[in-house]
Amino acid sequence: MNGAPVQQKIIIDDIQEGVVVLAGGGGLRAILMTSSTNFALKSADEQDALISKYQMFLNSLDFSLQILIISRQLDISDYLAALDQKSKEQPNELLKIQISEYIDFIKNLIDVSNIMSQSFFVVVPIANVEKKESEGLLGKLNFLSSKKSSNENKSTDDLRAQLWQRVEYIVSGLAGMGLKSIPLNTQEITELFYHLYNMGATEKPALVKETKSE
């Protein structure tokens, strides 16, 4: 028996204007890419201060969030390709040999050391309010209203506005700990999920330009 297609296992319905729309009315998600800090290199006082700020930041939240760390083997194929091209363009034979030896050294270093790169993300959620409301009697009778579609659109706009308010709050809170963060746009989110579901892929996914409806 064949397994279900990967698309059926992905709970994402769409990605629009930097927002992940979950399938089945599961709400919206924004994704922030953040910088990191080397905690081990800080003094004891600096570590205590950072822990205290982090604790206050978490206690100030009235919603959940997800911290995601992605580790990958360092990919320097583009860098090596650029070096190889420089080697071909180099008229000096001695420099050509040195570049070639340097390329071999880097390749061996990466293979032996298994050097990893890490990326840090914060996923900011907001639940679909209408989904909760539909559990009541008024929600069940909502289909009788001819204005249901416009109400849903308004609710989605409200959810997006509330989501970006949360994003701004998270960005400000992380900045207080010396961490820079920036929301991913539609293309960046698409590439992130593409590589999460295609771990060995190095190419970028083919993207369709996003158009806004009037």
Same domain, 85 and 54: no
Are 28 and 98 members of one domain? no
Q: What is the CA radius of gyration of the chain?
A: 24
Range with the poorest average pLDDT among 12-21, 47-56, 128-137, 193-202: 128-137
| 209, part of any domain | no
- 63 and 160 in a common domain: yes
51 and 154, same domain (yes or no): yes
> What is the reported pLDDT for 110?
78
Is residue 165 situated within a structural domain?
A: yes
Strand partners, 30: 124
The pLDDT value given to residue 204: 53
Task: Look at residue 106 and tell me if it is in a domain.
Answer: yes
Q: Are residues 43 and 147 in the same domain?
A: yes
> 154 and 90 in one domain?
no
Of the residues 114, 130, 145, the one at which a domain ends: 114
More confident residue, 167 or 207: 167
Average pLDDT taken over every residue of the chain = 79
Same domain, residue pair 64 and 105: no
Residue 129 lies in a domain: yes
49 belongs to a structural domain: yes
DSSP state letter for 147: T
Question: Is residue 210 assigned to a domain?
Answer: no
Q: Report pTM.
A: 0.67
pLDDT of residue 186: 93
Q: 62: which DSSP letter?
A: S
132 and 163, same domain (yes or no): yes
The DSSP 8-state label assigned to residue 195 in this structure reads H
Residues 54 and 126 in one domain: yes
Number of domains in the chain: 2
Domain assignment present for 67 = yes
Structure tokens at 95: 């420099």
Phi/psi of residue 60, nearest 5 degrees: -80, -15
Q: For residue range 148-187, list pLDDT tens digits in order.
A: 444 445 477 888 999 999 999 999 999 999 999 999 999 9
* 100 and 148 assigned to the same domain: no
Question: 150 with 188, same domain?
Answer: yes
Please count the CA atoms within 13 angstroms of the CA of 208 that sit on its side-chain side: 5
Domain that holds residue 93: 75-114
CA distance 86 to 184: 33
CA atoms within 13 Å, Cβ hemisphere of 62: 4
Whether 25 maps to a domain, the answer reads yes
- In this structure, the answer to whether residues 61 and 23 fall within a common structural domain is yes
